[in-house]
Structure 1
Amino acid sequence: MLKTLKDLFDAVAPRRDAPARQDVHTLQLACAALLVEVMRSEPGISPAERASVLATLRTQFGLADDELERLVELAERTVAGASDLFGFTSAINDAWDMEQKIAIVEAMWRVAYADGTLGAHEQHLLWRIADLLHVPHGAYVHAKRRAREAAGVVHKT
């Protein structure tokens, strides 16, 4: 019986190199899910928003085009079935330092501005995500400004 239990545990226990690979995949999915959530936050997904998501993931993770498409498709399915954002943000909080978290917030702002407009839902969602990532308000505002300027969107006073 002990041998049988040991065999069972060995069968379900991850291999030694699996956690590192799994952590990378979890982080990639978490990042993609947040970007996709911003992309989906307003009705109608523009090609520019999708291109911004793909460009961010390509730069961040160095994935090939087919891997990017699969990751975004998985992120879309995952986000559709998620009840909150905490699982995604906690994976990022566990793995990334503040500089990296600010960079992903800026990337999310670039997705939001990619179509030339910023909707109320996008703005609220970005505020929630930045809060869950523990990004200081000043860094959040500067990330937004940099993304807005990069998109060429004129700020209304």
Structure 2
Amino acid sequence: MFERLKQLFAVGNSANDDKMTLELVTAALLLEVCKSDFQEDPGEIDKIRKILIAHFSVSIADIDTFMAQARNTTEERTDLYPFTRYINDNCNNIEKYQLVSTLWEVALEDGRIDKYEDHLIRKISDLIYLPHSDFIRAKLSVIGDGH
């Protein structure tokens, strides 16, 4: 699903983005959704780990170190702009839709979508210029998958 994205994110666009990779951008946004309701649900953290291991080159052995690196990256930033700009510079709408779907998966992992999670995913979706119809379709597809 994310193979093309991984290639696109392999090289940064500026000196400040040299450390950015698709894995890091995705992990950072997933972690932001996880903590947006002011509690980090262990199930949501587990879901993030599974997504990163399944779709990226993050190994089981390295996942905790990588998650810590992603946390540090989000704490160094005061906004979502570096992440969403990176997505806009390198992704098409299908790839953006896939990203937003994974954000919904994490938000729903604890059995409910908190209003803060919903707001953040809507904000990310707007910042990456994903059409509103795709934002809704992604949400409904995740909700309809048995949650």
Q: Give the TM-score normalised by the residue count of structure 1.
A: 0.77
Q: Is 1:65 aligned to 2:39, yes or no?
A: no
Alpha-carbon offset, residue 133 of structure 1: 0.9
- Equivalents in 2 of 1:151, 1:41: separation in Å? 23
Alpha-carbon offset, residue 25 of structure 1: 5.6
The letter for the 1-side match of 2:97 is I
Is the 1:116–1:151 Cα contact (8 Å) retained in structure 2? Answer: no
Q: Is 1:91 aligned to 2:86, yes or no?
A: yes
Q: Is 1:114 aligned to 2:109, yes or no?
A: yes
Are the structure 2 counterparts of residues 147 and 25 from structure 1 closer, same or farther at C-alpha, using a change threshold of 3 Å? farther
Q: What's 2:143 paired with?
A: 148
| Deviation sequence 1:4-52 (CA, Å, 0-9, x none) | xxxxxxxxxxxxxxxx854496122111110010011112211210111
Q: What's 1:47 paired with?
A: 42
Which of the pair is proportionally richer in helix? 1
Is the 1:110–1:151 Cα contact (8 Å) retained in structure 2? Answer: no
Task: Name the count of aligned residue pairs.
Answer: 133
Q: What's 1:36 paired with?
A: 31
Percent identity, aligned pairs only?
A: 29
Q: Give the TM-score normalised by the residue count of structure 2.
A: 0.82
Larger Rg over CA atoms: 1
Are the structure 2 counterparts of residues 22 and 144 from structure 1 closer, same or farther at C-alpha, using a change threshold of 3 Å? same
Q: What's 1:8 paired with?
A: none
- Consecutive unaligned residues of structure 1, counting only runs of 5 or more, are 1-19, 153-157
Give the RMSD, CA atoms, in angstroms: 1.8
Are the structure 2 counterparts of residues 60 and 94 from structure 1 closer, same or farther at C-alpha, using a change threshold of 3 Å? farther
